[in-house]
């Protein structure tokens, strides 16, 4: 049997995908399962974006695209960065990738050598450490406390920085906690970053438009313009415009980094489908009225779910300020036993038992680097969320010990 690489062996199947697949498998067996595992908006892509894709295909925009993005989409991204964050980028300071995930992959592969370190505040979206490991680097986690609203303490980032540190990753609004970082807190982090000139900073702003109270997202490059020559600001259309399947993400950053990232991308996928790029352009420049509608829906669901989970004895529920996730704490439930005799000793055991006994699929906190918690995606219908909360309450009430 030919052998697989050592590099891939260190990469587990993403827990989110695994949890979603388990839910699907049980559903296929006829079980009534509510899956709140994926960060996948259930809303439809705006029709004007779909129409723009159709028109692009009919115009014959079906050839190999330039690796970095079509001039038209880059212009739309320039306008978007200026409108939403006050950031100015030249076209050659922008890269379009097959989703923000590819942008992150490009950035880490383009910069990391064996033994380098990437500072990732925990809890985190698990792509950062997994891709860092693929690049031969070592993720270094900075634990964020629920009592600090899941924000990384500047002093903890300072303590984690070594001469091998190549990146600090920031992601607000955060997946999985929904934490939003105030500008003053980013300023305090910027003070630490100024002391470490060898460090790139990734600001993953994927959920920038999904701040529940509608306020503008604070982003590092705008808050600390003197750091712009080493900040990569990432966003995309997947979450803001319910366009996960179109695979368009982008970043603005220093030219030297963008050029290196484009080289990496050129040897993996090349440019993004011009049809999808036309759709993204229309989404960024067209009517924005679907955005406040989705934001309001996520905010209302999240408040309702946080309130009902907060009433469950043993469970704590930090109120998220953005994105579409809740990250309830399970410490008060550890050590208890289900009526069928399953011991809840970890967040994974909780999620496994909840799925088997109550038909609700969540992702356990260890998958995001902080236990004992579980992530609940509110990118689901109101009815599904209400029913899931009711089932979780009944499940928890049935635990003993
Ligand atoms: N960044 C964060 C924080 C995410 O949660 C996700 C998706 O879940 C992405 C980036 C990637 O988005 P996409 O590749 O769909 O653009």
- Res. 10 pLDDT band, cuts 50 70 90: confident
Q: Is the CB of 175 under 6 A from ligand 1?
A: yes
Q: If you write DSSP's letter for every residue of 310-336 in order, what string do you get?
A: HTSTT-B-PPP-BTTEE--B-GGGTTE
Is the pLDDT at 16 greater than 90? The verdict is no
Dist. CA 101 → ligand 1 center (Å) = 6
Ligand 1 close to Cβ of residue 171 (< 6 A): yes
Query: 303-358, pLDDT tens digit by residue?
Result: 999 999 999 999 999 899 999 999 999 999 999 999 999 999 999 999 999 999 99
User: Given this model, what pLDDT does residue 18 score?
Assistant: 86
| Contact between 60 and 258 (Cβ < 8 Å) | no
Q: In ligand 1, which atom is closest to the CA atom of 249?
A: 16
Neighbours of 183 (CB within 10 A): 16
C-alpha 198: how far from its chain's center?
25
Is there a cis peptide before residue 383, judged by omega within 30 degrees of 0? Answer: no
Name residue 231's beta-bridge partners: 201
Q: Is 238 in the pocket of ligand 1 (CB under 6 A)?
A: yes
Residue 229 has pLDDT above 90, yes or no: yes
Q: Which residue has the tokens 């190549």?
A: 166
Task: Please provide the average confidence, as pLDDT, over all residues in the chain.
Answer: 96
Rounded Cα gap, residues 153 and 327, in angstroms:
19
CB of 243 closer than 6 angstroms to any ligand 1 atom:
no
Return the closest-CA partner of residue 383 out of 136, 32, 72.
32
Q: Which pLDDT belongs to residue 12?
A: 80
Whether the per-residue pLDDT at 167 is higher than 90: the answer is yes
Q: Alpha-carbon distance 31 to 392, whole Å?
A: 16
Dump strand ranges (E) for 42-116. 94-97
pTM for this structure?
Answer: 0.96
Radius of gyration of the chain (CA): 21
Q: How far is the CA of 8 from the centre of ligand 1 (A)?
A: 21
For 64-78, give one letter per residue: b (16+ CB within 10 A) or e: ebbbbbbebbbbbbb
273 pLDDT above the threshold of 90? yes
CA angle centred on 362, ends 22 and 13, rounded to 5°: 50
The residue contributing the CA closest to ligand 1 atom 2 is 206
Tokens representing 210 are 């999904």
């Amino acid at each position: 049997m030919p052998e697989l690489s050592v590099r891939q062996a260190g990469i587990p199947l993403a827990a989110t995908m695994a949890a979603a697949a388990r839910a699907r498998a049980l559903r296929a067996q006829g079980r009534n399962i509510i899956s709140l595992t994926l960060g996948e908006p259930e809303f439809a892509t705006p029709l004007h974006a779909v129409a723009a894709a159709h028109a692009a295909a009919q115009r014959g925009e079906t050839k190999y695209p330039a690796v970095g993005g079509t001039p038209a989409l880059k212009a739309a991204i320039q306008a978007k960065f200026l409108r939403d964050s006050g950031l100015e980028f030249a076209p050659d300071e922008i890269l379009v990738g097959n989703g923000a995930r590819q942008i992150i992959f490009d950035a880490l592969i383009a910069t990391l050598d064996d033994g380098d370190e990437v500072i990732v505040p925990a809890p985190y979206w698990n792509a950062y450490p997994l891709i860092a490991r693929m690049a031969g680097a070592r993720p270094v986690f900075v634990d964020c406390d629920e009592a600090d609203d899941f924000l990384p303490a500047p002093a903890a980032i300072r303590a984690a920085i070594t001469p091998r540190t190549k990146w600090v990753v920031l992601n607000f609004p955060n997946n999985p906690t929904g934490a939003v970082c105030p500008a003053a807190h980013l300023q305090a982090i910027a003070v630490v970053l100024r002391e470490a000139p060898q460090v790139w900073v990734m600001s993953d702003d994927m959920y920038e438009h999904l701040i529940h109270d509608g306020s503008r997202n604070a982003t590092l490059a705008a808050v600390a313009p003197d750091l712009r020559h080493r900040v990569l600001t990432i966003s995309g259309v997947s979450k803001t415009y319910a366009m996960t399947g179109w695979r368009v993400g982008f970043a603005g950053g220093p030219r030297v980094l963008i050029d290196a990232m484009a080289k990496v991308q050129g040897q993996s996928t090349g440019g993004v489908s011009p049809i999808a790029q036309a759709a993204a352009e229309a989404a960024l420049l067209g009517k924005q009225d679907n955005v406040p509608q989705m934001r309001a829906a996520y905010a209302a669901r999240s408040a309702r779910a946080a309130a009902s989970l907060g009433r469950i004895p043993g469970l704590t529920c930090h109120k998220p300020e953005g994105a579409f996730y809740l990250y309830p704490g399970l410490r008060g439930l550890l050590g208890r036993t289900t009526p069928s005799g399953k011991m809840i000793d970890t967040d994974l055991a909780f999620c496994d038992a909840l799925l088997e006994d109550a038909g609700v699929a969540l992702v356990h906190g260890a998958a995001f680097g902080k236990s004992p918690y579980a992530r609940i995606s509110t990118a689901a219908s109101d009815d599904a969320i209400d029913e899931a909360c009711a089932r979780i309450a009944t499940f928890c009430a049935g635990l003993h010990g």
